[in-house]
Amino acid sequence: MANKTALQTLIAWGDEMMKQEPMKLLSFAEAIDKAVELLEMEKEQIIDAAERWKGTNFAEQYYNETYKEDKQ
């Protein structure tokens, strides 16, 4: 089985949920909750890709500066 991106994982989860309960509609809140669960996976994928590309440890700093939400 090939690795999946966070978005591919979210889509597969939604497809599986629809197969398990075809008459149930997923709420927007359920989809958002699942997407939030996958944020760490997405972060790791971005960091791994950047580290492979650059071969350095700048990736976590790049992620934090580029994608991390402001802490209020």
Q: 3 in a domain, yes or no?
A: no
In tens, the pLDDT along 15-61 reads 888 888 888 787 878 888 888 888 888 888 888 887 777 766 676 77
Domain membership flag for residue 16: no
Q: What is the pLDDT of residue 4?
A: 80
Q: Is residue 31 in a domain?
A: yes
Please tell me the distance from the alpha carbon of residue 46 to that of residue 58, in angstroms, as a whole number.
12
* 59 within domain boundaries: yes
Q: Which residues are within 8 A (CB) of 63 and not within 5 positions of it... i.e. 6 or more apart?
A: 43, 46, 47, 50
Of 19, 54, 14, nearest in space to 34 by CA: 14
- The answer to the question of residue 35 being in a domain is yes
What's the structural domain count of the chain?
Answer: 1
Write out the residue range of the structural domain in which residue 61 sits: 27-72
Q: DSSP assignment, residue 38? A: T
22 part of a folded domain: no
Q: Which of 43, 33, 44, 34 is nearest to 9 (CA)?
A: 34
Q: Is residue 15 part of a domain?
A: no
Task: Give domain status of residue 10, yes or no.
Answer: no
The amino acid sitting at 16 is: E
Model pTM score: 0.54
